[in-house]
A and B are shown apart, each in its own frame.
Chain A
């Protein structure tokens, strides 16, 4: 079974802090994704990585950056957290264009 894990289920940070969200997958998938999910808006893609050190901006990259130094690990960085980044963050991975496997999500609150 594919397993995608995320570093925290719940996180509370202060405005202006640098925040790291980590995602690890154990199935040697090329593709990894970071989404945020907000009520009424559905899942929106923040960044996508199709290989180590390769990344593409998604629909809402502003205020975020990513890092993929190893194939199994994809990190989302909030350089200076703001209250409008309070959300559920979901990581996913996939093999080429096949189905995506999701992590359990991190509920981030920025106060």
Chain B
């Protein structure tokens, strides 16, 4: 079973700062997901990637398959980015995900 580690567990930053959240996993995967969970519970899928880099607005996700590592970056952070960010990995041919425990991000105005 894949182990998924996220760091840091908690991150507080000032508005406008560049944010990096890291995710490492132990076994080869077919895809890695980044999810966002706002207070109140709802989870939204941000990215699903299997190689390279994806960008959506101020969010960038990268993955290094050889290093078994992914990063989520937020440029020009804003208080509305405050949320829990969750990394999850998917094995080959498997619909199920293994989740990290999340990174709680707080952006102070």
A interface, CB within 8 angstroms of B = 31, 33, 40-45, 48, 50, 58, 88, 90, 92, 94, 96-105, 107
Q: In the bound complex, what is the Cα–Cα distance between A102 and B95 (angstroms)? A: 14
* A94 engages B41 (CB within 8 Å): no
* B86 engages A43 (CB within 8 Å): yes
20 extra A-B contacts, CB within 8 A, seeds A44-B99, A45-B96, A102-B35: A31-B95, A33-B96, A42-B101, A43-B86, A43-B99, A48-B96, A58-B96, A97-B30, A97-B93, A97-B94, A97-B95, A99-B45, A100-B45, A101-B45, A102-B43, A103-B42, A104-B40, A104-B41, A105-B41, A105-B42
B interface, CB within 8 angstroms of A = 30-31, 33, 35, 40-45, 48, 86, 88, 90, 93-97, 99-102
Majority secondary structure of chain A interface residues (helix, strand, loop or mixed)? strand
Q: In the bound complex, what is the Cα–Cα distance between A48 and B95 (angstroms)? A: 9
* B31 engages A90 (CB within 8 Å): no
Q: In the bound complex, what is the Cα–Cα distance between A103 and B93 (angstroms)? A: 24
